[in-house]
Amino acid sequence: MLQKLKNNHLLMSGFYKGVSGLSLFLSIPLLIRYFGDTNYGLWVMVFALFQWIFSMDFGLSSVLKTKIPLLIYENKIDFVKSYIIATYKITTIISFFIFLSFFCLLQFIDLKTILNIPFFDSVFINNLFLLNVFLFCLNFIFNVQKSLFVAFLKGKYSEQSIAVNQIVFLLTLLFIVYFFPDINYEQKLILISIANGIVGLLINGLYTVYFFWLEKLNLRTNIASPKGFISEIIRLGSKYMIIQIGLLFVFTSDNYILSSAFGPKEVVPYEIVNKLFQFPMMIIFAALSPLWSMFAKDYSDKNHLKLLSKFKKFNYSFVVISMLIIILALICPFIISVWIKQKINIPENLILYVAIVTALKIFVSFYSFFLYGVEKINTYIIVLILSVLIKIPLTFFLIYLGFGINSVAIATLLIMLVWTIIIPFQCYKLINKI
Tell me how far apart the alpha carbons of residues 273 and 329 are, in angstroms, rounded to a whole number.
10
Lowest mean pLDDT among 37-41, 165-169, 197-201, 307-311: 37-41
> Does the structure show a pLDDT above 70 at 431?
yes
More confident residue, 356 or 41: 356
Q: Tell me the average pLDDT of the chain.
A: 82
Q: Compute the average pLDDT of residues 262-273.
A: 81
pLDDT number for residue 19:
81
pTM exceeds 0.75 for this model: no
* pLDDT at residue 98 greater than cutoff 90: no
Tens digits of residue pLDDT in 296-307: 667 777 777 778
Residue-wise burial string across 59-95, b where 16 or more C-beta atoms lie within 10 A, e elsewhere: bbbbbbbbbbbebbeeebeebbbbbbbbbeebbeebb
pLDDT value, residue 234: 62
Give the span between the Cα atoms of 256 and 52, in whole angstroms: 13
CA atoms within 13 A on the CB side of 372: 29
**What is the dihedral sign for C-alpha 78, 162, 99, 232?**
positive
Q: Does 226 score more than 60 pLDDT?
A: no
- For the chain, the distance separating the N- and C-terminal CA atoms, rounded to the nearest angstrom, is 36
Across residues 260-278, what is the average pLDDT? 82
Backbone phi, then psi, for 106, in 5-degree steps?
-70, -10
What CA–CA distances, in Å, run from 397 to 181, 259, 387, 392?
42, 16, 15, 8
Question: Can you give the pLDDT at residue 57?
Answer: 55
Average the pLDDT over 247-261 and give the result: 80
**226 φ, ψ to 5°?**
-50, 140
pLDDT band at 194 (very low <50, low <70, confident <90, very high): very high
Alpha-helical regions (H) of 106-223: 111-114, 122-142, 144-151, 155-179, 185-214
Query: What's 237's DSSP letter?
Result: I
Contact 142, 208 (CB under 8 A): yes
* CA gap 290, 287 in Å, rounded: 7
Kindly state the average pLDDT of the residues 387-414: 92
